[in-house]
């Protein structure tokens, strides 16, 4: 699988530049413009659902269903956002805070544990390492639901259903996909660096913490952004583990809002916008890393 | 010198091994508690009657026999299969076309890439609810657009015959991730080969079918396998559109939703585990079958 090689980045990174070689100088101004129009038309198709979400979030409810379709609201009802944040029984402000807590904690846990474990597999020799690593990769093949039911029963027996413990605790014990990714990154760091530190008498943990971690910062950012986004998306596990609406993250809050308040589409769209906006901002800020990460490691979720 | 190294290497080796075990210890714990034990437990549960309230009772292969005779299981499996058989190939083609369009030496093409990828960042719950509105039969933007061409749009999520198509369209919206992987694959194709083909008089189509496509087959395989694995396990969108009964008329009841209902609606953990094990076996069989065909179509050269 050539895609899984970190070296692929270097090529992927300069994609925004016009290519040299075969394609160079083959496109004049008009052809460039033509491509922009074709691609622009297509990318508008992909952007339209988001535009519809935002515009409906700023409308009155009936206005959404008016014919012909109105892409822009008559008056921008920013108050919809205020209303949904304080909706009786569906406190989206609280849901937002819960999502932040959930995604934040899982991100911290995953970054800490997976870099630690990834480093162990990449750099330290211990008996059974190869076998344990293959076992790690093998766990990725098993559908989530197979291990989910016994894990649920385990947490049930521990009496922690209805809390965030089953949602957050596993993140602190690492996860196969990111272990694999971190291992690849640590293997790319020249050996001389840690060997030199070892000769100087630094302990293994200090070498890891003070020398290796700063060197793989881009990988840590990619891992953090991915984990945050996927946890923010997560709907299945909160659906199963949480009961009290005050604990709901946005995904579950929006789902149950739709179940009970079927007709208030403008507020549903306002909530959906509130849920999407932080990720779009995060994506814009971390875009460089994000796209690079996608290219290197393929998708998950 | 060599002796000195040997002398030092033993205690260092032991220390290194100890450090190694400490570094991976969180994962070793997780491996046992969240992976190995659950797989064993799921296998045992699938052979048991277990409703949470009383201890599990071993019943052999009864759950599997029951599953075979259960029309709802077949219905759900059929829905998931329909969804996978359509969304995966269509998604592959759309992603490949988009990647080919994006692989152009045009200035400022990054903005298009961002826009195509953006839907993959949108939370599934938010995206699905937006599509319920977009595909609203009477006044939704899609059907009003279809009407301007003089046709009548289907009722999408309100019509059992069309609801799954709604889910497929939704999945195509999120094709940006696969597109980026294709794009990365396209950029690894050596330009010298395209140049050589061009000099030999190959036009754009010949260059695509004889150079680009064969070299891209490993990436197609990757996207195909990932696509199959994920589409068999579709849950979020189906659950949000149709709930546990697969509204309208059971048409959106996907296999994963059915497992969810069996386990957490009826608390029939044994039966749900059997359904999960079958899903596991089907995924293993299908990906195995795909890998079995690779010799015929995946190009491993260069």
Residues B87 and B225 both lie in one domain = yes
The CB density around residue A16, as the number of other CB atoms within 10 Å, is 11
B281: in domain: yes
List B49's β-bridge partners, or say none: B57
- B121: nearest CB among A26, A173, A280: A280
Residues B162 and B25 both lie in one domain = no
Determine the pLDDT at residue A294. 54
User: What is the domain range of residue B30?
Assistant: 2-46
Contact residues on chain B for A115, CB-CB shorter than 8 A = none
Contact residues on chain A for B109, CB-CB shorter than 8 A = 16, 35, 39
Q: How far is A160 from chain B (nearest CA, A)?
A: 16
Interchain proximity B52–A120, CB inside 8 Å = no
Q: Which residues have CB under 8 Å from B143's CB, separation 6+?
A: B135, B136, B137, B153, B154, B156
Q: How far is B220 from chain A (nearest CA, A)?
A: 11
| Residue A20, pLDDT above cutoff 70 | no
- A254: nearest CB among B15, B129, B256: B129
The interface residues of chain B toward chain A in range 148-187, judged by CB-CB distance below 8 A, are 173, 176-178, 180-181, 183-185, 187
B59: in domain: no
The interface residues of chain A toward chain B in range 126-185, judged by CB-CB distance below 8 A, are 126-127, 129, 132, 135-136, 139, 141-154, 156, 170, 172-175, 179
Q: Tell whether B123 lies on the interface with A, counting CB pairs under 8 A.
A: yes
Q: How far is A247 from chain B (nearest CA, A)?
A: 17
- A147: nearest CB among B39, B180, B239: B39
List B57's β-bridge partners, or say none: B49
Interchain proximity A147–B38, CB inside 8 Å = yes
Residues B41 and B71 both lie in one domain = no
Q: How far is A177 from chain B (nearest CA, A)?
A: 12
- Average confidence (pLDDT) over A75-95: 93
B228: in domain: yes
B58: in domain: no
Closest CA to A94 of A225, A242, A229: A242
- CA closest to B118 among chain A residues: A280
List B58's β-bridge partners, or say none: B48
Q: How far is B83 from chain A (nearest CA, A)?
A: 17
Residues B269 and B120 both lie in one domain = yes
Determine the pLDDT at residue B10. 52
- B115: nearest CB among A12, A43, A174: A43
Residues B29 and B70 both lie in one domain = no
Determine the pLDDT at residue A261. 76
Residues B200 and B169 both lie in one domain = yes
Q: Tell whether A60 lies on the interface with B, counting CB pairs under 8 A.
A: no
Compute the distance between CA of residue A95 and CA of residue A86 in angstroms, rounded to an integer.
11
**A–B: how many Cβ contacts below 8 A?**
298
Q: Tell whether A242 lies on the interface with B, counting CB pairs under 8 A.
A: no
The larger pLDDT score, comparing residue B297 to residue A301, is at B297
Residues B82 and B143 both lie in one domain = yes
pLDDT class of A17 with cuts at 50, 70, 90: very low
Q: With the CA atoms of B82, B86, B92 and B98 taken in that order, what torsion angle do they form, in degrees rounded to the nearest 10?
A: -140
Interchain proximity B35–A139, CB inside 8 Å = yes
Give φ, ψ of B122 to 5 degrees.
-70, 130
Terminal alpha carbon distance of chain A: 19
C-beta separation of A79 from A270 below 8 A: no
Interchain proximity B126–A40, CB inside 8 Å = no
pLDDT class of A234 with cuts at 50, 70, 90: very high
- CA closest to A253 among chain B residues: B125
* Residue ranges of domains in chain A: 26-77, 92-297
- B121: nearest CB among A24, A151, A279: A279
Residues B131 and B172 both lie in one domain = yes
C-beta separation of A297 from A181 below 8 A: yes
pTM over 0.80: yes
The interface residues of chain A toward chain B in range 34-53, judged by CB-CB distance below 8 A, are 35-36, 38-40, 42-44, 46-50, 52-53
Residue B289 three-state SS: helix
Alpha carbon B129 to its chain's center: 20
B54: in domain: no
Residues B30 and B175 both lie in one domain = no
- CA closest to A126 among chain B residues: B17
Q: What's the pLDDT tens digit per position in A40-75?
A: 999 889 999 999 999 999 999 999 999 888 899 999
Class of domain A92-297: mainly alpha
Compute the distance between CA of residue B43 and CA of residue A297 in angstroms, rounded to an integer.
31
Q: Which residues have CB under 8 Å from A266's CB, separation 6+?
A: A56, A57, A58, A59, A60, A61, A63, A64, A77, A80
Residue B119 three-state SS: helix
Quickly list H helices, chain B.
2-30, 37-46, 62-68, 71-102, 110-117, 124-134, 141-148, 163-173, 176-187, 191-199, 204-207, 213-232, 236-242, 255-260, 269-297
Compute the distance between CA of residue A251 and CA of residue A272 in angstroms, rounded to an integer.
9
Tokens standing for residue A130:
């190869």
- CA closest to A269 among chain B residues: B130
For chain B, the domain total comes to 2
Determine the pLDDT at residue B59. 97
Residues B29 and B127 both lie in one domain = no
B219: in domain: yes
- Average confidence (pLDDT) over A267-294: 84
C-beta separation of A78 from A58 below 8 A: yes
- Average confidence (pLDDT) over A260-268: 88
Q: What is the 3-state secondary structure (H, E, C) of chain A?
A: CHHHCCCHHHHHHHHHCCCCHHHCCCCCHHHHHHHHHHHHHHHHHHHHHHHHHHHHHCCCHHHHCCCCCCCCCCCCCCHHHHHHHCECCECHHHHHHHHHHHHHHHHHHHHHHHHHHHHHHHHCCCCCHHHHHHHHHHHCCCCHHHHHHHHHHHHHHCCCCCCCHHHHHHHHHCCHHHHHHHHHHHHCCCHHHHHHHHHCCCCHHHHHHHHHHHHCHHHHHHHHHHHHHHHHHCCHHHHHHCCCHHHCCHHHHHHHHHHHCCCCHHHHHHHHHHHHHHHHHHHHHCHHHHHHHHHHHCCCC
Q: What's the pLDDT tens digit per position in A137-186?
A: 999 888 889 999 999 999 999 999 999 999 999 999 999 999 999 999 89
Residues B227 and B132 both lie in one domain = yes
Per-residue pLDDT of chain B (302 residues; tens, 9 = 90+): 454 454 444 556 888 899 999 999 999 999 999 999 999 999 999 999 999 888 999 999 999 999 999 999 999 999 999 999 999 999 999 999 999 999 887 888 888 888 888 899 999 999 999 999 999 999 999 999 999 999 999 999 999 999 999 999 999 999 998 998 899 899 888 889 999 999 999 999 999 999 999 999 999 999 999 999 999 999 999 999 999 999 899 999 999 999 999 999 999 999 999 999 999 999 999 999 999 999 999 987 64
Compute the distance between CA of residue B284 and CA of residue A280 in angstroms, rounded to an integer.
35
Q: Tell whether A294 lies on the interface with B, counting CB pairs under 8 A.
A: yes
Q: How far is A36 from chain B (nearest CA, A)?
A: 8
> Is the interface score ipTM higher than 0.90?
yes
| Residue A109, pLDDT above cutoff 80 | yes
Compute the distance between CA of residue A97 and CA of residue A104 in angstroms, rounded to an integer.
10
Determine the pLDDT at residue A15. 44
Residues B179 and B76 both lie in one domain = yes
- CA closest to B199 among chain A residues: A22
């Amino acid at each position: 699988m050539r895609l899984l090689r970190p070296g692929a980045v270097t090529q992927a990174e300069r994609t925004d530049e016009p290519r040299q070689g075969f394609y160079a100088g083959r496109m004049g101004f008009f052809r460039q413009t033509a491509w922009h129009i074709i691609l622009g038309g297509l990318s508008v198709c992909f952007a339209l659902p988001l535009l519809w979400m935002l515009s409906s979030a700023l409308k009155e409810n009936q206005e959404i269903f008016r014919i012909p379709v109105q892409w822009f609201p008559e008056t921008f009802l920013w108050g919809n956002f205020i209303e949904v944040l304080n909706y009786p029984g569906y406190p989206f402000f609280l849901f937002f805070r819960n999502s932040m807590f959930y995604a934040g904690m899982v991100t911290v846990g995953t970054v800490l544990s997976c870099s630690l474990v990834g480093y162990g597999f990449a750099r330290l020799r211990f008996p059974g390492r190869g076998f344990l690593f293959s076992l790690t990769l093998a766990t990725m093949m098993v559908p989530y639901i197979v291990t989910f039911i016994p894990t649920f029963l385990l947490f049930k027996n521990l009496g922690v259903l209805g809390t965030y413990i089953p949602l957050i605790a596993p993140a602190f014990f690492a996860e196969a996909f990111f272990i694999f990714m971190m291992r690849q990154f640590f293997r790319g760091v020249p050996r001389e660096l840690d060997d030199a530190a070892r000769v100087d008498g630094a302990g293994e943990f200090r070498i890891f913490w003070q020398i290796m971690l700063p060197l793989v910062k881009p990988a840590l950012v990619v891992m953090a952004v991915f984990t945050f986004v996927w946890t923010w998306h997560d709907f299945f596990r909160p659906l199963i583990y949480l009961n009290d609406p005050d604990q709901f993250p946005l995904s579950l809050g929006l789902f149950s809002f739709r179940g009970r308040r079927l007709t208030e589409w403008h507020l549903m769209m306002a909530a959906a916008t509130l849920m999407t906006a932080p990720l779009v901002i995060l994506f814009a800020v971390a875009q460089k890393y994000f796209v690079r990460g996608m290219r290197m490691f393929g998708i998950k979720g | 010198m060599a002796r000195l190294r040997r002398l030092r290497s033993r205690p260092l080796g032991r220390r290194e091994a100890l450090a190694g075990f400490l570094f991976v210890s969180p994962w070793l714990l997780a491996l046992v508690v969240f992976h190995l034990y659950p797989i064993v437990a799921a296998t045992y549960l699938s052979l048991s009657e277990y409703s949470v309230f009383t201890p599990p009772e071993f019943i052999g292969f009864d759950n599997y026999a029951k599953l075979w005779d259960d029309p709802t299981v077949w219905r759900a499996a059929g829905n998931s299969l329909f969804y996978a058989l359509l969304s995966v190939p269509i998604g592959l083609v759309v992603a490949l076309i988009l990647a080919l369009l994006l692989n152009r030496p045009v200035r400022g093409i990054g903005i298009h890439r961002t826009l195509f990828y953006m839907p993959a960042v949108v939370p599934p719950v938010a995206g699905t609810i937006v599509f319920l509105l977009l595909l609203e039969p009477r006044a939704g933007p899609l059907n009003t657009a279809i009407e301007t061409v003089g046709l009548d749009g289907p009722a999408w999520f309100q019509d059992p015959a069309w609801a799954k198509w709604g889910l497929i369209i939704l999945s195509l919206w999120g094709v940006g991730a696969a597109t980026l992987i294709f794009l990365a694959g396209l950029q690894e194709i050596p330009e010298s080969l395209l140049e050589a083909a061009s000099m030999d008089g190959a036009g754009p189509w010949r260059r695509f079918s004889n150079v680009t496509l064969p070299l891209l087959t490993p990436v197609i395989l990757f996207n195909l396998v990932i696509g199959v694995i994920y589409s068999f396990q579709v849950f979020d969108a189906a659950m949000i559109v149709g709930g546990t009964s697969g509204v309208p008329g059971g048409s959106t009841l996907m296999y994963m939703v059915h497992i969810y209902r069996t386990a957490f609606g009826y608390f029939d953990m044994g039966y749900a585990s059997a359904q999960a094990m079958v899903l596991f076996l089907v995924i293993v069989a299908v990906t195995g079958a795909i890998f079995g065909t690779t010799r015929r179509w995946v190009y491993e050269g260069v």
